Structure 1
Amino acid sequence: MRRSISGKLVIFISMIITWGLWLFVEPIREISTMSGYSQLIAAFALVVFAFINFISTRHKILDGLFDGLDKSYIYHKYLSICALALAVIHNITISMGKKIERANGIKIPKDPYAMYGTFSMYIFIILILIALVAKKLNYEKWKTIHKFMIIPYAFGIYHYYGSATYAVFSLEPFCIWLNLINIIGIISAIYSVFLYEKISFKYKYKVKKLDIVANGTFEITGDSNGKEIKFKPGQFAFLKILNNENGFVSHPFTISEAPKSGELQFTIKALGDHTKELLNTLKIGDEFVVSGPHGKFNYKTGVKNQIWIAGGIGITPFRSFAQSGVGEEFSVDLFYAYNNEAEGAYKEELQLLNSNNLRVHLFNSKEKGFLSVNEISKLVNIKDSVDVYFCGPAPMRENLKKQFKDSNFNIINFNYEHFQFK
């Protein structure tokens, strides 16, 4: 993947800085070696929490750091697991350290802040478990549960400033560093929980057209009412309906139309309760706002020969690509698979966009069965080195990835976005 500075590298360097500065910090009282290492582990946890909270802000810098906001949420997931592990290890090792201190006759002052660290750990464990269950429910419930993560984080910060055995507000480089890290984490948490929904949605549009483009799939076209969002084909944005009669919360959707002055379009598959209700309640003249754009799903960074594969509503980024005009330097085969004739959105339009360097292959699964690499190989030169761009259901993606791996295709990159709740 092409990226300027890797988010993984930034995280690694932050950990190295934390460890390096910790080597030179002096405690304000005598402590055991185990207690010292335990507080280093706690410092690592604070750094990890700061990254978790910053990713939750959906700041545009995340697209550059992680090659797309969607991929940053993979880091968010594993950093959360890492933070939980560090919190548990810290809780165990600090108890071990205190036992060693007592055995060595070291006086341990009463610590009224210790219990807040314990509260933080147990609340965090409970919320992580709930989040794992909620992930199988829907995006709206996941979002609500996620906001409660600020509670264990607040307890953890309070515990740190009360229980640390070094002068946390001194000019020691380690203390300055952790204070900066905590400031980023605290501001990020406050912004993502309390301010994001209020100030991030700065592009306002009015619905001018509503169309059913396939069975259960509708298209929202809006006219700009002020500042326009600037986006590239293939990117997505967070959509929020202002009248919100049906309780529709902000949700990410791919922008389904190529950039057009004064206009913005989303195509939505009515899969969940809220999107189904939105289909029934949204009216021409209603207003919506968007935040973004986000994403690095961009065929122009790929090799000359490409295969685009769309499954169902996953046609939206490829439609935007095609409408923008595929450069003559690229040779693309677009395979669009849909369940049946009624669910194939934009079939006629895509056929009109068919050209020498963009060959459109429609695949009605009811008539032809599931799209396979064997079917693709009949229409594509398997000797060429190709990049694959995929957008569609995860099971379809994983099935095709396995088939490509077992085939004679020379695949350079298999590109896809990681948001499953889109």
Structure 2
Amino acid sequence: MRRISVLLCSLFAATTLLWLMAENGEHLKWAYFPIRHYMVQYSGVMAIAAMSVGMILATRLPIFERLTGGLDRAYRLHKWLGISALALGVLHWFWAKGTKYMVQLEWLVRPGRGGQGRSHDTGDGSVISTFLHQNRDLAEIIGEWAFYLLVILIAVSLYKKIRYGSFVKTHKVMGVLYLLLVFHSVVLMRHSYWEAPLGWVLGGLMALGTLAAIYSLAGRIGQNKQLHGTVKQLDFFEHNQVLAIDIDTDQRWPGHQAGQFAFLHFEGEEPHPFSLTSAPTEQGIVSFEVKALGDFTQQLRQRINKGDVVSIEGPYGQFDFQDNQSHQLWIAGGIGIAAFKAQLQQIKQSGSRKPVTLFYSTQQPDERYIQQLQQLATDAGITLHIHDSVQQGLLTTEMICQYCRYWRDSSIWFCGPKRFADALKKGFAKQGISEQRFHSELFEFR
């Protein structure tokens, strides 16, 4: 999360600095309407910058995965950019439209036109400047209604009780709203900004964001990483409600690293991300495990059969088990164990150069599933601890340190629910383990 925070703060700090360089606040009078003039521009600039970067990140291009440390983190940054854009959009609406409503309600008195009234930047009289000036009213109307729709769509995105399929479909409309808000921004942004570094940077971001929006609306995201396979084997574990899926790609799978994931697209459904559990060397067959948690995953067992054609997009992720520590400590919560299975398979085949201890915490222990996991750990030479959180309570840092004698020299690799991760991270921090040694796969994209 630290890298996400740094990237987010860096974007806003750099944009603010560029805006200050482009503005001249020497003659600013500390009264509501003069301040409003600056804040309308500032909040608008910040909002469109956040939306542009968020739109660019949504393309799933490898360069952004490397920059953010994995697609899971790229999407987490995308999420916080959306929340930031919403907050900045509300601020922008308040200064631009809220003020007008307050004047109509006689809560504010607008100063006369003699100096502090509404003034428009008419530019240099060129064709472009004339076009922009003539379309100001249209841009205001488009921006206002696009903002209202944006508020609704971001609220839908953040409300996790809404079906994932509905979330994905409504999210696609964001591209259209973004293009409308780009038009709003280009027309209404101060003309002097385009002559400053702020205009060059913001123009570049909006241009890239526009290409990304068109790329998304054309359905091109992830297409270069897609292939089709056939469901070869299904195995359902009753007690923990996990469905294991083997897919035959006819030797066309490009390969993956242990700890990565891919999107599965079943007919009639939107793509869903799942961890790869097969060994990286098995290029013909790729395996996944799906926990019955949401509406889609709960119905999946009844909806798919052997022989069904499935689209696979991937691989993604950088949960790669690479570090400089002499030992490794793996902790899995629930279906988070799936992220470790491919690495277990790989160690089974090629061996491990460092000792590993794996803790698997589950609320629904399935005897057959655990037997398979124990056999896999034994074959890989990995120490495995099964923790029944219903019988034994929440797995804590103290418990882990008690069972793992070399925890002080270990890197920690975690995949599971966020609250579990936060509790462990805080507990290990108290034990003197730095955050840099705690590696986690972000369990939720929304």
Report the TM-score range of the alignment, normalised by the length of the smaller protein. Answer: 0.7 to 0.9
Partner of residue 238 from structure 1, selected from 263, 277, 282:
263
Q: Does 1:190 align with 2:214?
A: yes
Residue 2 of structure 1, CA deviation: 11
Q: Which residue of 1 aligns with 2:115?
A: 104
Q: Which amino acid aligns with 2:273?
A: P
Distance 1:173 1:338 in 2: 54
SS of alignment partner, residue 221 of structure 1: strand
Partner of residue 223 from structure 1, selected from 205, 229, 248:
248
Distance 2:392 2:93 in 1: 58
Q: Which residue of 1 aligns with 2:299?
A: 277
Q: Which amino acid aligns with 2:279?
A: A
Alignment of 1:78-97 (within 5 A): 78-94=80-96
1:386 and 1:412 in contact (8 A); partners too: no
Identical residues among aligned pairs (%) = 28
SS of alignment partner, residue 310 of structure 1: strand
Distance 1:2 1:324 in 2: 30
Residue 268 of structure 1, CA deviation: 0.9
Q: Which residue of 2 aligns with 1:19?
A: 19
Alignment of 1:155-304 (within 5 A): 155-166=180-191, 174-196=198-220, 199-200=223-224, 202-213=226-237, 215=239, 216-225=241-250, 227-241=252-266, 244=267, 247-259=268-280, 260-301=282-323, 303-304=325-326
Q: Which residue of 2 aligns with 1:308?
A: 330
2:415 and 2:442 in contact (8 A); partners too: no
Q: Which residue of 2 aligns with 1:153?
A: 178
2:231 and 2:246 in contact (8 A); partners too: yes
Comparing both structures, which one devotes a greater share of its residues to helix? Answer: 2
From the superposition, tell whether residues 276 and 119 of structure 1 become closer, same or farther in structure 2 (CA, over 3 Å): same
Q: Does 1:120 align with 2:146?
A: yes
TM-score of the aligned structures, taking structure 2 as reference length:
0.78
1:214-240 deviation digits (Å, cap 9, x = unpaired):
532111111224642331100111111
Residue 380 of structure 1, CA deviation: 1.2
Q: Which amino acid aligns with 1:236?
A: F
TM-score of the aligned structures, taking structure 1 as reference length:
0.82
Q: Which amino acid aligns with 1:77?
A: K
The runs of 5 or more residues in structure 2 that have no matched partner are: 25-32, 104-109, 121-133
Q: Which residue of 2 aligns with 1:27?
A: none
Distance 2:161 2:253 in 1: 35
Residue 285 of structure 1, CA deviation: 1.7
The runs of 5 or more residues in structure 1 that have no matched partner are: 25-30
Residue 66 of structure 1, CA deviation: 1.0
Q: CA RMSD in A?
A: 3.6
Identify the range of structure 1 (249-258 vs 137-146) with the bigger mean alpha-carbon deviation: 137-146
From the superposition, tell whether residues 212 and 87 of structure 1 become closer, same or farther in structure 2 (CA, over 3 Å): closer
From the superposition, tell whether residues 17 and 238 of structure 1 become closer, same or farther in structure 2 (CA, over 3 Å): farther
Alignment of 1:41-52 (within 5 A): 41-52=43-54
Query: Across the two proteins, how many residue pairs are aligned to each other?
Result: 408
SS of alignment partner, residue 102 of structure 1: coil
